[in-house]
A and B are shown apart, each in its own frame.
Chain A
Amino acid sequence: MLELKGLSYNVSGKEKDIEIIKDVDISFDKGKLYAITGPNGSGKTSLAQLIMGIYPATKGRILFKGEDITDLDISERAKKGIGYAFQYPPRFKGLKVLDLLSLASGIEEETVARGYLRQVGLCPEDYLDRDVDPGLSGGEMKRIEIATLLAKNPEFVIYDEPDAGVDLWSFDLLLDVIRNKHKKEGITTILISHQERILSLVDEIILIVDGRIKDVGNKDKIWPVIKDVVGCQRDTLCSRRDKVETKCR
């Protein structure tokens, strides 16, 4: 459904360009549930934002349903059916929750927006007329962000750390909503996450390390690799620099 071919993304550094994403090749199949995981700073969000068009690719192509979308901007990609739930959704002074949901769904009916809020566990009465501003907590913002994606209803959707800032109990509900949508409507879904529980639910895990795809597979295959990458290799590297002896945990 979505293919990344030799995709790279560089930013300018002080002396030379810094490679954030390095020559990524991968294909996401229609209707599958994926997780992208990896250490902090490995390039997970950058990869998602390259797919949404927020960052421009330095090299390589992006194909969506066979069409080359590399040169399309964000809104054109959104119209084609790609969606992205931000890790830190922005706040807006003066824009109400209802406005945001109406923009996302294209339907200016309160009853429609109410349904999306209920799905993410927010009482419509308490939220529809509220501004999407700093008066909302991080957890409330994440739920509203997920509600906008439900309202937008893209065929291919990436949720960037949907669990961040949401309490564990509430996150179960949000995860059910995302999984149901994926299962019932065959939405190709990617969850960027570190949570072991999420990794055990998905069809395939993509492990990104240092801007490259390190491995792809199910949890049993990937989990030991993550432990190795995050635990052992980093310890070894640090120890070497500090000139101390350590053993892999």
Chain B
Amino acid sequence: MKLNAVDKNLLEQVADLHDTPQGAYNIRRDGEGFSRHSTENIQINVKEDKPGIDIIVKPGTKNESVHIPVLLTQDGINDLVYNTFEIGEGSDVQVVAGCGIHNDGSQESRHDGIHTIYVRKGARMRYVEKHYGEGESVGGRVLNPKTIIEIEEGATAELEMVQIKGVDSTKRDTEANLHKDANLIIVERLLTHGNQKARSDIVVNLREENSFTQITSRTVAQGDSEQIFYPRVIAYAKSRGYVECDSIIMDRAIVQSVPEITAHHAEAELTHEAAIGKIAGAQLLKLMSLGLSEQEAIEKILKGFLR
């Protein structure tokens, strides 16, 4: 089987890929495995008890990546997968997930990815998940990812979760448990427009000493869209956590930001900040004084904000 033009465009949008990737990969299309490739250090196996795959990174694997894009090109598909990641001790890898939906039909296209990730001792994982939708459907494009991540002693995980265009409804759940000296950086970037709805719930448990998390959410809400953010950091030990939600609101959109911090330990240091506001007038004036039209200035500011 070969990738067609629609597939290739979705792949480019969600994984910056122009064709099948180098290294380990698994491409899932319209609810089925499309093509898969394992390498010496990264093994991808199909689950036997339920839909989904196991991705096993050998301990000590360095500078390798694994791509696991999901493509939906038909309407009426309700795709549910369970993926499990085992990021071996001392390894350093990048995981490029992401889902692209092309829906020209009348029924809903939906993908719910349930990811369980184990980042083992001293490992480092960068995880990028991009969501993208296109097509003239009246049926919705729906993405509901759930990510559960366990970060062991001295390990680091960076999650970059991006949704810039075309997803009608998303409900994202992220839950993380951090052990001794573990780090978790979450960056969430989101743009909603039209009547889109997005909700993101994040719970980070700082379970052991010297764990650290930083959650940053940058979003733009346009049109009649609605966004809800509910990032929570709960510290059970001497640890540090920082939550920042920053949203630009436009038109008739609604944004609700509820960062929450809870400490169960006297030496926990937790802070949060949340801001919602329109594009600052002075920013527009400055860019216009450099010769940009008002619309060009708005686009430049939003693009930078969501970078």
Contacts and interface: CB of A to CB of B under 8 A. Distances in A.
Interface string A86-116: 1011101111100110011010000000000
B286 interface: yes
Contacts of A103: 287, 290, 292, 300
A92 B293 contact: no
Contact of B291 (A86, A99, A152): A152
Contacts of A104: 290
A93 B290 contact: no
B288 A93 contact: no
Nearest to B303: A94
Given A54-B285, A90-B283, A152 B290 contact: yes
Nearest to B305: A94
Give the most central of A84, A86, A88, A90: most B CB within 10 Å.
A90
B5 interface: no
Interface stretch (A12-20, A61-69, A74-82, A177-185): A74-82
Contact of B301 (A74, A79, A86, A92): A92
Interface residues of B, number: 22
B286 A86 contact: yes
A93 B282 contact: no
Interface string B268-307: 0000000000001011011111111110000011011111
A83 B290 CA distance: 8
B246 interface: yes
A89 B283 CA distance: 8
Given A92-B301, A92-B304, A95-B304, A78 B290 contact: yes
A84 B303 CA distance: 24
Contacts, number: 62
B172 interface: no
A88 B281 CA distance: 13
Nearest to B281: A90
A52 interface: yes
Nearest to A95: B304
B232 to A, nearest CB: 23
B280 A90 contact: yes
Given A90-B282, A92-B283, A78 B304 contact: no
B218 interface: yes
Chain A CB within 10 Å, residue with most, of B280, B283, B291, B292: B291
A94 B289 contact: no
Interface in A144-166: 148, 152
B304 A94 contact: yes
A50 to B, nearest CB: 13
Given A86-B282, A99-B304, A93 B246 contact: yes
A228 interface: no
A78 B307 contact: no
A94 B282 contact: no
Contacts of A75: 288-289, 291-294
A89 B291 contact: no
Given A92-B283, A94-B307, A84 B289 contact: yes
B218 to A, nearest CB: 7
A92 B218 CA distance: 13
A184 B294 CA distance: 33
Given A78-B291, A92-B301, A93-B246, 19 more contacts: A54-B285, A73-B288, A75-B294, A79-B291, A86-B282, A86-B286, A89-B286, A90-B282, A90-B283, A90-B286, A93-B218, A93-B304, A94-B218, A94-B306, A95-B300, A95-B304, A99-B304, A100-B290, A148-B290
6 contacts: A79-B291, A92-B283, A94-B304, A94-B305, A95-B300, A103-B292
Interface of B: 218, 246, 280, 282-283, 285-294, 300-301, 303-307
Task: Give 8 nearest A-B pairs by CB, closest first.
Answer: A94-B304, A90-B282, A95-B304, A74-B288, A78-B291, A94-B305, A75-B288, A90-B283
